[in-house]
């Protein structure tokens, strides 16, 4: 079942979303090597990461703002509890509950990001770890009106370090295949943005731009796929890797430990 509300919310079952989907999956694979015990996932989407994380967890609470159907055929489904919730705050979630909290591609959507980080910190046990990803603004090709803000690696480090004493700032990078697609995407986006001579994308309220962005985003992804079918279809998770964050990573990947 394909389940997403906007072009911002990709699906693992839509071929034109493959490059973005594989970019997200590397974060889940990296997290699956780290987690154990009781875990919380904030922003689980359609649950495509659960099959990787649930086997490593003792208990798994998944929350999302949308009531997206979760696959009940997952082998470890009995461990998983889903709650529909708009965050922050994490209503009904007690302090010092989780060994790990995972939140991928969520913080950029949160109005009060400091409150969000405080809530992530609050629900972690002492010694618990937060694993978080978000786009690197330095590699964004245009303004995304679904995002309240995006971060550099220094800005995100400063935000998380206000509460977490140990912060490891990594980045998600792509190999030559991925970056070839990125360059094709950059050129394609430039064909749209060249008409924005007055820079309305940065001057208009973001909510006024969300529907046009959705339409153009879908058109662009389909166009890229049609022109680069082999490239967009064949990008795999292994074409992405983690390294020390810098201005050239596609996403920021944070591991932060609560004292």
Model pLDDT for residues 75-132, shown as the tens digit of each residue = 788 899 999 999 999 999 999 999 999 999 999 999 999 999 999 999 999 999 999 9
Residue 236 domain-assigned (yes or no): yes
Indicate the pairing of strand 38-42 with strand 59-64.
parallel
Is the pLDDT assigned to residue 213 strictly greater than 80? no
Across the range 186-205, mean pLDDT stands at 83
Domain annotation covers residue 1:
no
Q: Does 212 reside within a domain?
A: yes
Would the pTM count as exceeding 0.75?
yes
Q: Is residue 4 part of a domain?
A: no
In a domain, 104, yes or no: yes
Confidence band for 11, pLDDT divided at 50, 70 and 90: low
Q: Which has the closest alpha carbon to 147: 91, 203, 109, 201?
A: 109
% pLDDT > 70, the chain: 94
Average pLDDT, the chain: 90
Q: Where are the alpha helices (DSSP H) in 56-205?
A: 113-123, 153-161, 176-193, 200-203
**pLDDT above 60 for 55:** yes
What is the span of the domain harbouring residue 71?
15-257
Residues 123-174 pLDDT 10s: 999 999 999 999 999 999 998 999 999 999 999 999 999 999 999 999 999 9
Does residue 7 lie in a domain region? no
User: Is there a domain that residue 100 lies in?
Assistant: yes
Provide the pLDDT for residue 2. 38
Of 36-45, 92-101, 207-216, which range is least confident?
207-216
Query: Taking CA 210 as the corner, what is the angle to CA 204 and CA 211, rounded to the nearest 5 degrees?
Result: 120
Sequence-ordered list of residues with C-beta below 8 angstroms from that of 132, at least 6 positions apart, any chain: 102, 103, 104, 106, 107, 120, 160, 253, 254, 256
CATH of the domain at 103: 3.40.50.150
pLDDT per position as a tens digit, 228-245: 777 778 899 999 999 999
Answer with the residue of higher pLDDT: 218 or 11.
Answer: 218
31 vs 76, more confident:
31
Domain presence at residue 3:
no
Provide the pLDDT for residue 203: 80
Asked if 142 contacts 201 with a C-beta cutoff of 8 angstroms, the reply is yes
């Amino acid at each position: 079942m394909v389940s997403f509300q906007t072009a911002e919310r990709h699906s693992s079952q839509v071929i034109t979303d493959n490059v973005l989907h594989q970019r997200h999956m590397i974060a889940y694979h990296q997290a699956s090597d780290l987690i154990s015990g009781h875990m919380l996932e904030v922003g689980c989407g359609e649950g495509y990461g659960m099959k990787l994380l649930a086997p490593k967890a003792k208990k798994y609470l998944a929350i999302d703002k949308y009531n997206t159907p979760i696959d009940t055929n997952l082998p470890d489904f009995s461990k998983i509890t889903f709650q529909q919730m708009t965050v922050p705050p994490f209503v009904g979630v007690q302090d010092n509950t989780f060994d790990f909290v995972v939140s991928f591609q969520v913080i950029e959507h949160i109005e009060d990001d400091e409150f969000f980080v405080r809530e992530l910190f609050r629900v972690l046990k002492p010694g618990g770890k937060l694993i978080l990803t978000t786009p690197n603004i330095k590699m964004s090709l245009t303004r995304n009106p679904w995002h309240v803000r995006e971060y550099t690696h220094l800005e995100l480090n400063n935000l998380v370090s206000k509460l977490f004493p140990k912060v490891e700032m990594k980045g998600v990078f792509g190999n030559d295949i991925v970056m070839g697609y990125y360059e094709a995407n950059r050129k394609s986006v430039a064909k749209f943005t060249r008409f924005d001579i007055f820079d309305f994308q940065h001057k208009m309220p973001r909510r006024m731009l969300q529907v046009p962005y959705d339409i153009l985003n879908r058109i662009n992804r389909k166009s890229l796929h049609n022109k680069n079918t082999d490239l967009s279809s064949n990008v795999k998770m292994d074409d992405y890797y983690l390294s020390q964050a810098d201005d050239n990573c596609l996403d920021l990947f944070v591991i932060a430990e609560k004292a």
